[in-house]
Amino acid sequence: MRLSRAFLPTLKETPAEAQIVSHRLMLRAGLIRQTAAGIYAWLPAGQRVLQKVAQIVREEQDRAGAQEILMPTIQPAELWQRSGRYDDYGKEMLRIRDRHDREMLYGPTNEEMITDIFGAYAKSYRDLPRNLYHIQWKFRDEVRPRFGVMRGREFLMKDAYSFDLTKEGAIHSYRQMFVAYLRTFARMGLKAIPMQADTGPIGGNLSHEFIILAETGESQVFLHRALLDYDALREAPDYDSDLSHITEFWTRHYAATDEKHDEAAWNAIPEADRVSARGIEVGHIFYFGTKYSAAMGLTVAGPDGAPVHPEMGSYGIGVSRLVGALIEANHDANGIIWPDPVAPWAAAVINLKPGDAATDALAGQVYAALAPDALLDDRDARAGEKFADADLMGHPWQVIVGPRGAAAGRVELKRRRGGERAEVSPEDAIARIRESRSA
Ligand code: ATP
Ligand code: MG
């Protein structure tokens, strides 16, 4: 994409309504535009990041054996009346009536709908285990939408639902998702710590929240320092093997949010190993047994022919919240510093003298080699403005091409993270950019 033709609006002023850095930078870098309180349009750069994040989530769900579907955003109230949650859910649920006066709602989550869909096909224990997920917009009429996409009203969530014959099977499915989550966040360059959690209105008895440490997080968290050193990508786990050692590691070391904080356990940790910080919840997983299968009458024939309610779990990731969380964890005074795997473009090629034949040719050559994973700044603007925009938008690499370099067949390659600069051949620049993107 050439900047002279792109819709990539950046703002110089700091928007007054934004209280935290990720919200300010998302507005300034032109990622989102608020259309109503807690509801956002995603502009081209934001949409690309959102899709990159969703794709990593998708790949790790698939790898763990879950299958992607797509359920609608609008649901009939009748489904929720069957589970008994229609009245309980309260004002967070956006309720709608269609022209026939039928009660509908904009889905805040999909336990009821998936139980209904899966139940229409599952007949016997041979149809288990299964795990189905989708990446779909949700609506929750939050009392206080704030911090941009971090606490929106409409937001993109990945939610997966597992069905098993036995409790042991369901716990295995839970552990598969637990590991998939560790891998998912690690691939984005984030350290997400699983913490024992309350199960809330979804109900059940085994639950973890995945929390990223950030000063502006809404949760107070306490953990053992050892958890920060865990490398989730070191070896790809075989999802069909015994995964208990992985969850055991996280249980052995203390990690809790404020609600689950245990002073005695905390004091037992050597003082030097205690980390107390703020965190952002980016994922939440639940095992809730037969709560929905029993309430909604989902049964399959067990091995002895007797009907059984499948054991279920649900597994959420805040895909749109992650975009904000990624910025909270990756920025400096000049703007965003995208981690390579989620950056909207791998590089910005900055032409310092548009109209100069040799500079245009060299910048065009580097851009063509990297496109569509690069932007070409061919605007008729001051160099300072181009550098500031590239820093603000956070491209992992900047390739700076000026008349002097063009004459010598050299470009300047700048790494956004760390700020190192080197004069290299165009081929070297292209190779290094491609390599870091595919790593
Ligand atoms: P929170 O405690 O932050 O309100 P929740 O417990 O209501 O979250 P879940 O039902 O567990 O959320 O939803 C799964 C994930 O969806 C959360 O871990 C979070 O990342 C994301 N999420 C939940 N509510 C919002 C929201 N209002 N805006 C953006 N993302 C959200
Ligand atoms: Mg939660």
Q: What is the pLDDT of residue 103?
A: 98
pLDDT in tens, the chain (439 residues): 999 999 999 999 888 889 999 999 999 999 999 999 999 999 999 999 999 999 999 999 999 999 999 999 999 999 999 999 999 999 999 999 999 999 999 999 999 999 999 999 999 999 999 999 999 999 999 999 999 999 999 999 999 999 999 999 999 999 999 999 999 999 999 999 999 887 665 555 689 999 999 988 989 999 999 999 888 888 778 999 999 999 889 888 999 999 889 999 999 999 999 999 999 999 999 999 999 999 999 999 999 999 999 999 999 999 999 999 999 999 999 999 999 999 999 999 999 999 999 999 999 999 999 999 999 999 999 999 999 999 999 999 999 999 999 999 999 999 999 999 999 999 999 999 999 999 8
Nearest Cα residue to atom 24 of ligand 1: 151
Please tell me the distance from the alpha carbon of residue 271 to that of residue 225, in angstroms, as a whole number.
10
Q: What is the pLDDT of residue 410?
A: 98
What's the pTM value of the predicted model, to 2 decimals?
Answer: 0.97
Token look-up 């189905």 returns 132
CATH, range 345-438: 3.40.50.800
21-335 homologous superfamily: Bira Bifunctional Protein; Domain 2 (3.30.930.10)
Domain with CATH 3.40.50.800 in the chain: 345-438
Q: Which of 22, 206, 258, 284 to mutate to test the pocket of ligand 1 (most atoms within 8 A of CB)?
A: 284
Please tell me the distance from the alpha carbon of residue 22 to that of residue 10, in angstroms, as a whole number.
14
Q: Residue 399 carries which DSSP code?
A: E
> How distant, in Å, are the alpha carbons of 97, 103, 303 from that of 100?
8, 9, 44
Helices (H) and strands (E) in the chain, counts: 14, 23
Q: Which of 321, 322, 323 to mutate to test the pocket of ligand 1 (most atoms within 8 A of CB)?
A: 321
Query: Taking a C-beta distance cutoff of 8 angstroms, is the pair 63, 96 a contact?
Result: no
- CA–CA–CA angle 77, 81, 82 (5° rounding): 120
Token look-up 């698939």 returns 62
Query: Taking a C-beta distance cutoff of 8 angstroms, is the pair 164, 311 a contact?
Result: yes
Q: What is the pLDDT of residue 208?
A: 95
- CA terminus-to-terminus distance, the chain: 23
| Dist. CA 199 → ligand 1 center (Å) | 12
User: Which residue, 206, 288, 205, 298, is CA-closest to 250?
Assistant: 206
Q: How many residues does the chain have?
A: 439
Nearest Cα residue to atom 19 of ligand 1: 318
> Could you say which ligand is closest to the alpha carbon of residue 151?
1
Please tell me the distance from the alpha carbon of residue 66 to that of residue 78, in angstroms, as a whole number.
27
Strands 374-377 and 397-401 turn out to be unpaired
The string of DSSP letters for 172-207 reads HHHHHHHHHHHHHHHHTT--EEEEE---GGG--SEE
Please tell me the distance from the alpha carbon of residue 306 to that of residue 294, in angstroms, as a whole number.
15
The string of DSSP letters for 115-166 reads HHHHHHH--BGGG-SEEEEEEEEEE---SS-BTGGGB-SEEEEEEEEEEESS
Closest approach atom of ligand 1 to CA 283: 18
Q: Which two tokens stand for residue 409?
A: 């067949």
Q: Name the H helices within 319-356.
A: 319-329
Q: Which of 281, 285, 317, 328 to mutate to test the pocket of ligand 1 (most atoms within 8 A of CB)?
A: 281
Q: Which two tokens stand for residue 379?
A: 């605007």
Closest approach atom of ligand 1 to CA 150: 29
Q: What is the pLDDT of residue 201?
A: 58
- The two most distant CA atoms of the chain are separated, in Å, by 81
Closest approach atom of ligand 1 to CA 142: 27
Query: Taking a C-beta distance cutoff of 8 angstroms, is the pair 339, 189 a contact?
Result: yes
Please tell me the distance from the alpha carbon of residue 126 to that of residue 301, in angstroms, as a whole number.
9
Please tell me the distance from the alpha carbon of residue 169 to that of residue 21, in angstroms, as a whole number.
43
Residues 6+ apart with CB under 8 A from 132: 66, 67, 68, 69, 114, 118, 160, 161
| Dist. CA 281 → ligand 2 center (Å) | 7
